[in-house]
Amino acid sequence: MTKRDENVSAMLVQKHQLDQSESKLSELDAALNALQQNQESNNNDLDLALADLDMMLDSQGLNSQLAEDIDITQECSSCSIWKAQSHNLMQKPP
């Protein structure tokens, strides 16, 4: 094979690799677009669910901020209890 033939062959291999790369990039782009659309749909569903929850809280005479504060307080209390239990377990001799 002549030097020119080797160069042409190498260029054909590179073109094939480039074509394959472009094809894979197109597949990834399509997958990312689908994920983005799914995420937007999920965000919209979550916004609707939160709005429904706010309406339910209002209908029960509860302020949504008060309910949020209660949830955070309960969560923090649970964390404190869990941390204390973990700390006690770590201090017990085997």
For the stretch 36-90, pLDDT in tens is 999 999 999 999 998 898 888 888 887 666 666 666 555 666 666 555 555 555 5
Q: Which two tokens stand for residue 89?
A: 């377990």
Contact 20, 28 (CB under 8 A): no
pTM: 0.51
**Which residues, at least 6 apart from 32, have a Cβ–Cβ distance to it below 8 Å?**
none
**pLDDT number for residue 18:** 96
Half-sphere exposure of 12 (CA within 13 A, CB side): 6
**pLDDT number for residue 87:** 53
Enumerate the H helices of the chain as residue ranges.
Answer: 3-59, 64-91
* Least-confidence region, from 5-9, 19-23, 24-28, 88-92: 88-92
